[in-house]
C-alpha cells in the first residue's frame, strides 16, 4: 500500500504538486491522468524520491520513504518510462539483470529470473536474451523495459507514459499484457498518462490532476458517472462517455436467458464490443458463449440501459 499524505513540491516559486493526498491499495493499479504540466510525473517521482517532496509524507507498506536511503528505496521499486531507458550497449538479458545484479543475487538466480521474465513477456529467451535493444521492435523494447522494471520482484511498479511511443494496435496489446501480468504478479502499479481512455482501461482508481492539484480520485465508473464539476467533467464529459461506460462492463453482466441467431460473442467481451458487433451485423441480439450450456443472449435494449446516465 502506498500512502501519499499532503505532499507538495515547489520549484522556485512555482508549485508543481500542491497538497496531494491519496492511498493506493496493495495489488491495485492507480492511473495519474491530466494535461501536460499538471504535476503527474513530479508526483510519481516523489514516490521513489527521484524528486524529493517539499513537504508531506509518502509511506510504502507503512514505512516513511524519507527514512530509507534513496538508492535503497529505488532498488525496491520498479520504474518504467517512455522510450524504455534501456542501455543501448548491453544485451537484453544484461539490461533485465541490472537491478538483481546490483542487489547481489547469484548468477544462477539472475539467469533464471531473466529467462522467466522474457518468457512471461512472450520473448523467446534464447533468441532475444543475446540481442541488443536496437535489434528489437519498439513494442519489444517496451516489453523489455517493463521486464527490467519487474526484475527484482518489486512490490511497487511506477510507470511514466510507458506506452506513449507505441502505435495504437501495439499499444492496446501492451495494455492488455500489463493488466494480465499485473494481476498475475499482484504488484502495485502507479502509472502516468495523459490519455483518459488508457486511464479508464487500466485503472482500478484514476487520479485526475490539474494545475498540481488532485481534482478527483475514484474508480473509473465513478469518474464517468459522477465527475467532479469543472476540469474532470470537461475531461470525461464529451460525446464518448456512453461508449466509455460500456467499455467497463462485460457482456456476462448484462446477458439474459434466451436464444439468438448468429456467431456467439464471449461473455468476457465488453458491452462496447457487443454494441459494435450488433451494429455491424444489423441485428438486435446476439447469442452469448458461456461456460454452462443454458442459452443466453445480449440484446440492444440491455446494452442501452447500461450506456446512459442512470447506468
Ligand atoms: N526540475 C524542474 N524544475 C523546474 N520546474 C519543473 C521541474 N520539473 C517539473 N517542473 C514544472 O512542474 C510542473 C509539473 O511538471 P510535471 O512534469 O510533473 O507535469 P506532467 O503532468 O507530468 O506533464 P507531462 O505530461 O508534460 O510530462 C510543470 O509546470 C513543470 O514545468
pLDDT at 308 over 80: no
What is the ipTM for the molecules in this complex?
A: 0.95
Banded pLDDT at 4 (limits 50, 70, 90): very high
Predicted pLDDT of residue 249: 87
Q: Report H helices in 121-188.
A: 125-128, 138-150, 168-185
Predicted pLDDT of residue 14: 93
Q: Calculate mean pLDDT across residues 109-132.
A: 92
First to last CA, the chain: 31
Q: Calculate mean pLDDT across residues 218-237.
A: 90
pLDDT at 41 over 80: yes
The response to whether residue 194 sits with its C-beta less than 6 Å from ligand 1 reads yes
pLDDT at 311 over 60: no
Banded pLDDT at 137 (limits 50, 70, 90): confident
The response to whether residue 98 sits with its C-beta less than 6 Å from ligand 1 reads no
Q: Give the residues across from 119 on adjacent strands.
A: none
Nearest in space to 207 (alpha carbons), one of 225, 198, 219: 219
Q: Calculate mean pLDDT across residues 218-230.
A: 91
Give nearest CA residue, ligand 1 atom 24: 36
Q: Calculate mean pLDDT across residues 185-193.
A: 94
Q: How far apart are CA 44 and CA 259, in angstroms?
A: 49
Instruction: Tell me what percent of the residues of the chain surpass a pLDDT of 90.
Output: 59
Predicted pLDDT of residue 310: 59
pLDDT at 219 over 90: yes
Banded pLDDT at 291 (limits 50, 70, 90): low
Q: Calculate mean pLDDT across residues 147-164.
A: 90
Banded pLDDT at 96 (limits 50, 70, 90): very high
Nearest in space to 249 (alpha carbons), one of 277, 266, 226, 269: 269
Nearest in space to 250 (alpha carbons), one of 306, 205, 206: 306
Q: How far apart are CA 156 and CA 242, in angstroms?
A: 33
pLDDT at 143 over 80: yes
pLDDT tens digits for range 48-69: 999 999 999 999 999 999 999 9
Give nearest CA residue, ligand 1 atom 26: 36
Give nearest CA residue, ligand 1 atom 18: 39
The model's pTM: 0.86
The response to whether residue 193 sits with its C-beta less than 6 Å from ligand 1 reads no
Residue 275 CA to ligand 1 centre (angstroms): 40
Which ligand 1 atom minimizes the distance to the CA of 44? Answer: 18
3-state secondary structure of 88: coil
Burial profile 41-73: b = 16 or more Cβ within 10 angstroms, e = fewer: bbbbbbbbbbbebeebebbbeeeebeeeeeeeb
Q: How far apart are CA 288 and CA 250, in angstroms?
A: 11
Q: How far apart are CA 70 and CA 297, in angstroms?
A: 55
Predicted pLDDT of residue 211: 93
Banded pLDDT at 84 (limits 50, 70, 90): low
pLDDT at 309 over 70: no
The residue assigned the cell 500489463 is 178
Amino acid at each position: 500500500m502506498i500512502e501519499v499524505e499532503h505532499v507538495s513540491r515547489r520549484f522556485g516559486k512555482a508549485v508543481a504538486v500542491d497538497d496531494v493526498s491519496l492511498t493506493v491499495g496493495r495489488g491495485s493499479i492507480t492511473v495519474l491522468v491530466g494535461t501536460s504540466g499538471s504535476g503527474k510525473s513530479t508526483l510519481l517521482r516523489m514516490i521513489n524520491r527521484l524528486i524529493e517532496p517539499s513537504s508531506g509524507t509518502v509511506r510504502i507498506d507503512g514505512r516513511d520513504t524519507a527514512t530509507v536511503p534513496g538508492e535503497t528505496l529505488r532498488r525496491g521499486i520498479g520504474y518504467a518510462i517512455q522510450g524504455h531507458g534501456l542501455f543501448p550497449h548491453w544485451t537484453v538479458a544484461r539490461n533485465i539483470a541490472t537491478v538483481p545484479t546490483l542487489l547481489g543475487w547469484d548468477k544462477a538466480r539472475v539467469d533464471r529470473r531473466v529467462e522467466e521474465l522474457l518468457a512471461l513477456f512472450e520473448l523467446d529467451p534464447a533468441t532475444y536474451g543475446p540481442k541488443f535493444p536496437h535489434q528489437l521492435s519498439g513494442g519489444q523494447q517496451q516489453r523489455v523495459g517493463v521486464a527490467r522494471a519487474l526484475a527484482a520482484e518489486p512490490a511497487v511498479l511506477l510507470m511514466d507514459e510507458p506506452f506513449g511511443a507505441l502505435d495504437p494496435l501495439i499499444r492496446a496489446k501492451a495494455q492488455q499484457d500489463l493488466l494480465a501480468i499485473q494481476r498475475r504478479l499482484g504488484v502495485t502499479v502507479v502509472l502516468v498518462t495523459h490519455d483518459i481512455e488508457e486511464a479508464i482501461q487500466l485503472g482500478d482508481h484514476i487520479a485526475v490532476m490539474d494545475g498540481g492539484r488532485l481534482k478527483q480520485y475514484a474508480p473509473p465508473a465513478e469518474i464517468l458517472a459522477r465527475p467532479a464539476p469543472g476540469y474532470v467533467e470537461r475531461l470525461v464529459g464529451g460525446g464518448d462517455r456512453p461508449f466509455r461506460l460500456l467499455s467497463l462492463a462485460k457482456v456476462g453482466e448484462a446477458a439474459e436467458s434466451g436464444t439468438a441467431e448468429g456467431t456467439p460473442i464471449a461473455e468476457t467481451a465488453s458491452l462496447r464490443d457487443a454494441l459494435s458487433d450488433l451494429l455491424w451485423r444489423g441485428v438486435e441480439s446476439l447469442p452469448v458463449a458461456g461456460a454452462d450450456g443454458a442459452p443466453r443472449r445480449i440484446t440492444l435494449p440491455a446494452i442501452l440501459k447500461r450506456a446512459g446516465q442512470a447506468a
